[in-house]
Structure 1
Amino acid sequence: MIEVQTLLRLPDGAFMQVDACGERPRDAQYVEGAIELIADGVQILSVAEWDYIDQLWSYVADMIRELPKQGEASTYFPDQPIMLKFLRSSSGRLLVSCRVGDNVRQANVNESEFLAAIRSAGQVFFEKMSRLLPENSQGYDIARHSLTA
């Protein structure tokens, strides 16, 4: 089972699910937030790894586009030395990992289930952000397209 949620970081440091947020972020260039990703019971990403969330989601969208071509894709977080990696481990299986310093959290998941969950959560995120920050909607549309490519 794959669970993906996106949360925006509020000015007081609290986090709110992106789909429940009605106010635009303070800074349209540096939108803070987190992706919570649980894959087969393993918490791969949490609010502890918050960063510039629209940039991170754009990087994840690029990973989704690259995965079929290379069989693997990885990215560092926008403002931290945290690596997220997807690696096709066998037919229909994907090793999803996050490295924070010496700590690695990983799970071997069903590839199609994982990609469907990521694509869905990414679409929800970019659609909501396009409404909250219409001045960024062109970039969000490009990233959203990468999720479906």
Structure 2
Amino acid sequence: MITVSSHLKGDSDGFIPWGSVDEVSGELDLTKGAIELAVNDEPIIDKRSWDYIFPMWVYLADAVSALCNSGEGAFWFPDQPLQLRLLREDGNLNVVLSGKGVKREAMAGEIEFLEAVRARGLEFFEETCSIFPENRDSIRPILRRLGGGPLRVATRNAHWEERVSQQQAAAIRAAEQACGRRMNPCERDGLIVDIAGRSLIFQELFERATQVLRKGD
């Protein structure tokens, strides 16, 4: 399972989930925060590696786009000697954080990773448009890049079960069985964007899938 979340760094050592932030004083590019990224419960990026969160997300979006085009992507953190490297290897994705005496590494399913970053990245940039409305014009091209282009092509062309974790796929199948029908492609795509990259227990996943199915009846 791939999980991705965004947090604003508070005045002390605390962090606030990005989605619960209403406004932030100061410039967007200098706003401090953290991306948390874990592969199968193993943290690759965590709150200890906080930095300027907006450029860090832009760099991550560029790295996954490069991965789609060439099989490899990487970026340096905005204000510290840490590098995240993404490398396609034998049908899987090697995710490596290195620098400052740190090395964290994990193997992930490439499509699931791309879907998680795409979904939670779209969420981050859409929320950022609300928090920093004066920056909407500069954020929209990033939203278009994440919402379309090679990243969208890669996820759209994959089988839907590659786009989510085994637990997430099992919850969708269980909900379909309970409701007596399968989701259509539009319903499934919307649900995957909702759950990809999120840390949700099976019951929460099942309930979200069931809501989608019942809404379409």
Which band: TM-score by shorter chain? over 0.9
Point out 4+ residue stretches in structure 1 off by more than 4 angstroms: none
Relative to the length of structure 2, the TM-score reads: 0.65
Structure number with greater Rg is 2
Relative to the length of structure 1, the TM-score reads: 0.93
Q: Which has the higher contact order (CA 8 A, sep 6+)?
A: 1
Long gaps (5+) in structure 1: none
Work out whether residues 64 and 147 of structure 1, in 8 Å CA contact, stay in contact via their aligned partners in 2: no
Work out whether residues 2 and 39 of structure 2, in 8 Å CA contact, stay in contact via their aligned partners in 1: yes
User: What pairs with 1:1-149 in structure 2 (closer than 5 Å)?
Assistant: 1-91=1-91, 93-148=92-147, 149=149
Long gaps (5+) in structure 2: 150-217
Q: CA deviation at 1:70?
A: 1.3
CA distance in 2, matches of 1:142, 1:11: 31
Work out whether residues 8 and 18 of structure 1, in 8 Å CA contact, stay in contact via their aligned partners in 2: yes
Deviations 1:108-145 (A, max 9, x none): 00111111111111011100110000111222222222
Q: Please state which structure has a larger fraction of its residues in helix.
A: 2
Q: Please state which structure has a larger fraction of its residues in strand.
A: 1
Q: Which amino acid aligns with 1:56?
A: M
Deviations 1:8-50 (A, max 9, x none): 1123342111111122243333111000111012100001000
Work out whether residues 28 and 54 of structure 2, in 8 Å CA contact, stay in contact via their aligned partners in 1: no
Equivalent pairs counted in the alignment come to 148
- CA change 1:27–1:12 in 2 (3 A) is farther
CA distance in 2, matches of 1:29, 1:40: 31
Work out whether residues 62 and 143 of structure 1, in 8 Å CA contact, stay in contact via their aligned partners in 2: no
RMSD after superposition: 1.3
